[in-house]
């Protein structure tokens, strides 16, 4: 009888150990929750990718980007501000040149865009947006609520902040720049919309042209 109890005990212990191993494996396989809110990413505009990865605590994980001519786009499915969305980080020559959020409904788009707009104002002051004469492009500051956002139309504001000239030249692959603007934009889709913050470099030659 004692022998049977010993075998049963060892079987129970083995089963318990297997369950623990499975749970640990499941936890290890779970996707990492990344810090990709605008409060985490906005201060990193113009930083090298290595610095961005370190500050966002991505660790050694392998993330495959979409690549272009000197550009890379990293895409993440993430919960941001309490809502699920698609987040993209844009690099140009290993410098963070912009980021964007795609939300599925207009209310969330407007709410999160207002928060980003406020943060940009706190960082860069009053926008330098030029007057807009367009039926499909508008100043974001002219919109009072989500009901004022129309599908397939663009809303934006521009700033001309102080920047690190050497980093900006690196971002352009060695091309000198006169200045660099920051463009904040909201493009509305039929359902939801895209919020984007990007550097908009003005090359030295273009800036000096009449």
The span from the CA of 24 to the CA of 113, in Å, is 39
Contact by Cβ (8 Å): 187, 105: no
Query: From the CB of residue 192, how many other CB atoms can be counted at a distance below 10 Å?
Result: 17
pLDDT at position 206 is 53
What's the gap between Cα 188 and its chain centre?
17
Profile the chain (210 residues) by mean pLDDT over runs of 10 residues.
47 42 36 78 94 83 84 93 93 96 97 98 94 92 96 97 84 81 97 96 60
pLDDT at position 126 is 96
Sign of CA dihedral 184, 89, 69, 66: negative
HEC string of 110-124?
HHHHHHHHHHHHHHH
The pTM score is 0.80
């Amino acid at each position: 009888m004692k022998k049977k109890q010993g075998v049963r005990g060892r079987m129970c212990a083995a089963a318990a150990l297997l369950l623990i191993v499975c749970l640990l494996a499941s936890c290890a396989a779970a996707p990492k929750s990344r810090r990709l809110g605008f409060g985490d990413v906005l201060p990193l505009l113009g930083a090298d990718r290595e610095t961005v990865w370190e500050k966002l605590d991505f660790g050694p994980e392998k993330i495959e980007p979409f690549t272009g001519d000197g550009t890379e786009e990293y895409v993440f499915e993430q919960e941001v501000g309490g809502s699920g969305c698609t987040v993209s980080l844009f690099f140009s020559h290993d410098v963070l040149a912009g980021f964007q959020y795609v939300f599925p409904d207009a209310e969330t788009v407007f709410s999160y865009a207002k928060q980003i707009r406020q943060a940009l104002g706190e960082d860069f002051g009053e926008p330098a947006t030029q007057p807009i004469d367009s039926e499909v492009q508008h100043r974001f500051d002219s919109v009072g609520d989500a009901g004022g956002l129309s599908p397939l139309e663009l809303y934006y504001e521009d700033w001309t902040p102080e920047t690190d000239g050497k980093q900006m030249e690196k971002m352009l692959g060695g091309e000198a720049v006169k200045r660099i603007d920051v463009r904040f934009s909201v493009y509305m889709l039929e359902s939801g919309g895209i919020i984007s913050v990007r550097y908009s470099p003005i090359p030295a030659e273009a800036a000096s042209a009449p």
